[in-house]
C-alpha cells in the first residue's frame, strides 16, 4: 500500500506563480529580487493557511537559484534548487520558534550566522511562529537582526503580529497576507480534483471554500476528508452531510413561509431542522446570512459580495425580487437581536420559535387593514339602522344634542372613507342651540317640567343665574387662555414662602444615646433606598457636639458631597429628635503622604556605597541593568 500524502503537502506551491490569492506580495518579492533590493529581514504575518511559510521557502529557494527565470522564478534544475527540493539544502534553515524559544536556541542560531555559505549566495533562516520566542530571546536576537552579514537573510513568520516586540518589527519589512477569497479557493480545489481524477460539483467546492474561512490549507484538508467519504465523485449532498452544514434549501423555504405569513409551516420546518441535529443558534446565524445575501443581490454593484456559485446566485436573485429592502432590514434586525440573546435564554427552542413568529407577523400586519374595513362597514350599517329606526324606544328621553351627534357620525364615517348622503331633513341651527342650552341646564336635575320651572324662578329671584353665567365665562377663559409660565413660577415661589412661614422652630434637647438610637433607625430603614450610603454612615458612631452639631466620620468626600442622601439624613434627624437646629459636620480622614519607592538604579547606587567592588564585577562580566 502506497503512502498517502495529503493534498496540502502534495500540491504545495513551488513557484511564486502557483501561490493562490497573494498576487500583490509575490509580485513585490519578485521585483525586489530582480532589482537586488532585498532587505536583511522580512516578517510575513497573516491568518493560518494563507501561504506565509510557503512564500518564505520560495523566496529562499529563488534567491539561491543559480539560473532564475526572467520572471524571477526558481529553475528547479540547478544544484541549489535540486538540493532544496530534496530537503538537503545547507543554506536554508527552518527553525520552529514554538519549540526553540529560549535564549540558548537563539545564541546557537547567531553562532551559525557567522559561518558563510559553502555553496550558493545566501544563508536564509526561516523562523516560523516567531511570536512564541521569549522576551529574552528576542533581545538576544536584536543585534544580529539589525546588522547581519551580507550573506544572511532572515524570514520571520507569525499569525500574531501584536505579540512581537516593536524593536523587532522596526527591523523588518512587513508583509501582511490576506485571507484567500472563496472563488480563488474553489478554483484551486477544482484544479486539484482534476489532477486527482475526482468529479466534483461546483456548488460542493464552494461550500468547502466557505467553510475554510479564507485558509487554503484548511480547504485542502476538508477536500481530502470529503474525497475519502464520497470516492471519485463529490456532490453537494455529500459535503453538507459530512460537514454537518444546514442545506441552503431550508433557508429558501423558511423565507417563502415568512413571505406567505405561514407560521405553522415555519414551526414545522424548524422542528425538522432540530430533528436533523442542528443547533438553534446555528440556524439563526444562517438565516441572518441568508437575509444578508438577499440584500446584497438587490444591487448590481454589490452582487460581487455574494460568495456563491452561479446556480445559487440565480436562486438568491429570484427570491430577492419578492422581498422589499425594508422587509429584509427588519428581518435582519429581528434575527440579530434573537441571536445575541440566544445564550441567555432558558428555553432555546421557544426562543427561536418566537423569532420565526415575529418574522411571519410582519406579513399579518399587511393583511389587518382589510379586516378592519369590513368591521367598520358592519358597524356603520348597524349605527345607521339604529338612527333611522322607527322604534319609539330610540326617541324617548333623548336630547337634541344626542341626535345632532348621531347625524354627524352617520354623515362622516364610512368604511371606504367617503361621505354618506344624509337622508334626514335639514336641522334648524337656532333650535339646536336653544335645545342644547336647555339640555345643559337641566342635565343635573330631574326631567320633570314643574321642577325645571321652579329651578329657573329660584335662580332668577336670587340672582344666581348671573353668577352662574359669570362662572361659566371664567371657566371658558381658563380653558382657552394661554398658559403663563411666569405666573406658574410665581405661584410656586409664593407657596414655598408660605410653607417657610408656617414652619415653627422647635428646639428639643436630646442625649448621645437618643442620637445613637435614631441613627441606627435611619441606617436600617435606608438600606433599601441607598445601600452604599447607609453602609457609609452606619460604619461609625455619630458624635454630638455643642449647639446641636453632629460630627459624622466618613471615609470618602464623595459621601459628604452627596446632597440628596445627606439632606434626607438631616431631615430624618430633625423630625425624629424634634429639633430644627441640628447641623451635620462631615469629618474626613487626613491625607497620608505616599512613600517614594526607590528605582532599581537607586538601589544599585546604594549597594555601590556599601560594596564598592560591585562596579568592578559589573564591568568584568559586562552586565547591564535591566531598567
| Top-confidence residue, 520 or 624 | 520
Q: Which of 128-137, 232-241, 366-375 has the lowest mean pLDDT?
A: 366-375
pLDDT tens, residue by residue, 547-561: 888 888 888 888 888
Q: Which helix (H) or strand (E) holds 583?
A: strand 583-587
Task: Label residue 489 by pLDDT band (50, 70, 90).
Answer: low
Instruction: Answer yes or no: are the C-beta atoms of 550 and 479 closer than 8 Å.
Output: no
DSSP one-letter code for 342: T
Task: Label residue 366 by pLDDT band (50, 70, 90).
Answer: very low
CATH topology of domain 248-362: Zinc Finger, Delta Prime; domain 3 (1.20.272)
- Residue 518: half-sphere exposure toward Cβ, Cα within 13 Å: 21
Residue 314 has pLDDT above 80, yes or no: yes
Residue 45 has pLDDT above 90, yes or no: yes
Q: How many whole angstroms separate alpha carbon 158 and alpha carbon 53?
A: 9
pLDDT at 97: 87
Cell representation of residue 24: 500583490
Choose from 164-168, 210-214, 460-464 the range with maximum mean pLDDT: 164-168
Q: Which of 261-270, 299-308, 397-406 has the lowest mean pLDDT?
A: 397-406
Instruction: Answer yes or no: are the C-beta atoms of 123 and 148 closer than 8 Å.
Output: no
Choose from 96-105, 384-393, 500-509, 601-610 the range with maximum mean pLDDT: 96-105
Q: How many whole angstroms separate alpha carbon 601 and alpha carbon 446?
A: 105
Residue 563 has pLDDT above 90, yes or no: no
Mean pLDDT of 425-446: 43
Instruction: Answer yes or no: are the C-beta atoms of 83 and 90 closer than 8 Å.
Output: yes
Tell me the helices (H) and strands (E) count for the chain, helix number first. Answer: 28, 10
Instruction: Answer yes or no: are the C-beta atoms of 43 and 165 closer than 8 Å.
Output: no
Is 331 exposed, middle or buried, given 0-12, 13-18 or 19+ CB atoms closer than 10 A?
Answer: buried
| Top-confidence residue, 13 or 594 | 13
User: Which own/partner pairs from 379-383 qualify as long-range (CB within 8 Å, at least 24 positions apart)?
Assistant: 380/410, 380/413, 380/414, 380/415, 380/420, 383/409, 383/410, 383/413
Residue 55 has pLDDT above 90, yes or no: yes
User: Which own/partner pairs from 222-229 qualify as long-range (CB within 8 Å, at least 24 positions apart)?
Assistant: 223/7, 223/189, 223/192, 223/193, 224/6, 224/7, 227/196, 227/198
Q: Which of 22-26, 51-55, 77-81, 479-483 has the lowest mean pLDDT?
A: 479-483
Mean pLDDT of 505-519: 84
Cell representation of residue 143: 543585534
Q: How many whole angstroms separate alpha carbon 454 and alpha carbon 76?
A: 126
Mean pLDDT of 608-617: 81
pLDDT at 417: 45
pLDDT at 503: 52
Q: How many whole angstroms separate alpha carbon 83 and alpha carbon 88?
A: 5
CATH topology of domain 7-176: Rossmann fold (3.40.50)
pLDDT at 379: 40
DSSP one-letter code for 130: G
What is the assigned CATH class of domain 512-587? Answer: alpha beta
Q: How many whole angstroms separate alpha carbon 570 and alpha carbon 333?
A: 51
Mean pLDDT of 238-242: 83
| Strand duo 543-544 + 549-553: pairing | antiparallel
Mean pLDDT of 575-604: 78
pLDDT at 426: 46
Residue 227 has pLDDT above 70, yes or no: yes
Q: How far apart are the first and last CA of the chain?
A: 62
pLDDT at 476: 52
Cα–Cα nearest to 585, from 535, 549, 555, 558: 549
Does the domain formed by 182-242 have CATH 1.10.8.60? yes
pLDDT at 479: 45
Residue 88 has pLDDT above 50, yes or no: yes
Mean pLDDT of 354-361: 90
Mean pLDDT of 620-626: 75
pLDDT at 173: 92
Residue 538 has pLDDT above 80, yes or no: yes
Mean pLDDT of 122-128: 91
Q: How many whole angstroms separate alpha carbon 15 and alpha carbon 479?
A: 90
pLDDT tens, residue by residue, 252-262: 899 999 988 88
Instruction: Answer yes or no: are the C-beta atoms of 200 and 236 closer than 8 Å.
Output: no
Task: Label residue 492 by pLDDT band (50, 70, 90).
Answer: low
Residue 542 has pLDDT above 80, yes or no: yes
Q: Where are the domains of the chain?
A: 7-176, 182-242, 248-362, 449-480, 512-587, 594-627
Q: Structure pTM?
A: 0.53
Residue 113 has pLDDT above 80, yes or no: yes
Mean of all residue pLDDT scores within the chain: 77
Residue 452 has pLDDT above 70, yes or no: no
pLDDT at 527: 82
Amino acid at each position: 500500500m502506497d503512502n498517502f500524502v495529503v493534498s496540502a503537502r502534495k500540491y504545495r506551491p513551488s513557484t511564486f506563480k502557483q501561490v493562490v490569492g497573494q498576487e500583490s506580495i509575490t509580485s513585490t518579492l519578485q521585483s525586489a529580487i530582480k532589482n537586488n533590493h532585498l532587505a536583511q529581514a522580512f516578517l510575513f504575518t497573516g491568518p493560518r493557511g494563507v501561504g506565509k511559510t510557503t512564500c518564505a521557502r520560495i523566496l529562499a529557494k529563488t534567491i539561491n537559484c543559480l539560473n532564475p527565470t526572467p520572471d524571477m522564478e526558481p529553475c528547479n534544475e540547478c544544484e541549489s534548487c535540486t538540493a532544496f527540493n530534496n530537503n538537503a539544502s545547507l543554506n536554508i534553515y527552518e527553525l520552529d520558534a514554538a519549540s526553540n524559544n529560549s535564549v540558548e536556541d537563539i545564541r546557537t542560531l547567531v553562532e551559525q550566522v557567522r559561518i558563510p555559505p559553502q555553496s550558493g549566495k545566501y544563508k536564509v533562516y526561516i523562523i516560523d511562529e516567531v511570536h512564541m520566542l521569549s522576551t529574552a530571546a528576542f533581545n538576544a536576537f536584536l543585534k544580529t537582526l539589525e546588522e547581519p552579514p551580507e550573506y544572511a537573510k532572515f524570514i520571520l513568520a507569525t499569525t500574531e503580529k501584536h505579540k512581537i516586540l516593536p524593536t523587532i518589527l522596526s527591523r523588518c519589512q512587513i508583509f501582511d497576507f490576506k485571507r484567500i477569497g472563496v472563488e480563488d479557493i474553489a478554483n484551486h480545489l477544482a484544479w486539484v480534483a482534476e489532477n486527482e481524477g475526482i468529479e466534483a460539483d461546483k456548488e460542493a467546492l464552494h461550500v468547502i471554500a466557505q467553510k475554510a474561512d479564507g485558509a487554503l490549507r484548511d480547504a485542502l484538508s476538508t477536500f481530502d476528508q470529503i474525497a475519502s467519504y464520497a470516492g471519485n465523485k463529490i456532490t453537494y449532498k455529500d459535503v453538507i452531510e459530512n460537514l454537518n452544514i444546514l442545506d441552503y434549501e431550508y433557508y429558501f423555504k423558511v423565507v417563502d413561509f415568512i413571505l406567505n405569513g405561514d407560521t405553522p409551516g415555519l414551526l414545522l420546518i424548524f422542528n425538522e431542522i432540530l430533528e436533523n441535529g442542528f443547533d438553534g443558534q446555528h440556524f439563526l446565524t444562517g438565516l441572518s446570512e441568508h437575509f444578508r445575501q438577499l440584500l446584497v443581490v438587490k444591487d448590481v454593484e454589490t452582487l460581487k459580495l455574494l460568495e456563491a456559485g452561479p446556480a445559487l446566485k440565480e436562486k438568491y436573485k429570484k427570491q430577492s425580487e419578492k422581498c422589499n429592502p425594508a422587509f429584509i432590514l427588519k428581518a435582519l434586525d429581528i434575527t440579530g437581536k434573537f441571536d445575541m440573546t440566544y445564550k441567555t435564554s432558558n428555553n432555546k427552542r421557544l426562543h427561536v420559535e418566537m423569532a420565526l413568529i415575529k418574522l411571519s407577523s410582519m406579513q399579518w400586519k399587511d393583511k389587518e387593514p382589510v379586516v378592519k374595513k369590513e368591521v367598520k362597514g358592519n358597524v356603520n350599517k348597524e349605527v345607521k339602522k339604529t338612527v333611522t329606526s322607527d322604534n319609539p324606544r330610540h326617541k324617548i328621553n333623548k336630547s337634541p344634542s344626542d341626535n345632532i351627534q348621531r347625524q354627524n357620525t352617520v354623515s362622516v364615517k364610512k368604511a371606504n372613507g367617503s361621505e354618506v348622503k344624509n337622508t334626514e331633513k335639514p336641522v334648524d341651527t337656532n333650535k339646536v342651540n336653544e335645545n342644547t342650552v336647555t339640555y345643559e341646564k337641566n342635565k343635573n336635575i330631574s326631567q320633570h317640567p314643574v321642577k325645571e320651572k321652579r329651578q329657573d324662578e329660584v335662580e332668577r329671584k336670587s340672582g344666581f343665574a348671573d353668577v352662574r353665567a359669570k362662572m361659566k365665562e371664567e371657566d371658558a377663559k381658563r380653558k382657552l387662555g394661554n398658559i403663563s409660565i411666569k405666573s406658574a413660577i410665581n405661584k410656586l415661589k409664593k407657596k414655598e414662602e408660605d410653607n417657610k412661614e408656617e414652619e415653627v422652630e422647635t428646639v428639643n434637647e436630646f442625649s448621645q444615646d437618643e442620637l445613637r438610637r435614631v441613627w441606627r433607625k435611619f441606617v436600617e430603614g435606608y438600606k433599601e433606598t441607598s445601600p452604599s450610603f447607609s453602609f457609609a454612615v452606619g460604619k461609625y458612631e455619630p458624635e454630638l457636639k455643642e449647639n446641636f452639631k453632629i460630627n459624622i466620620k466618613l471615609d470618602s468626600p464623595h459621601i459628604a458631597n452627596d446632597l440628596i442622601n445627606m439632606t434626607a439624613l438631616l431631615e430624618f434627624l430633625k423630625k425624629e429628635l424634634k429639633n430644627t437646629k441640628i447641623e451635620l459636620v462631615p469629618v474626613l480622614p487626613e491625607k497620608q503622604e505616599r512613600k517614594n519607592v526607590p528605582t532599581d538604579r537607586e538601589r544599585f547606587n546604594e549597594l555601590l556605597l556599601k560594596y564598592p567592588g560591585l562596579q568592578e564585577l559589573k564591568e568584568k562580566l559586562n552586565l547591564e541593568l535591566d531598567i
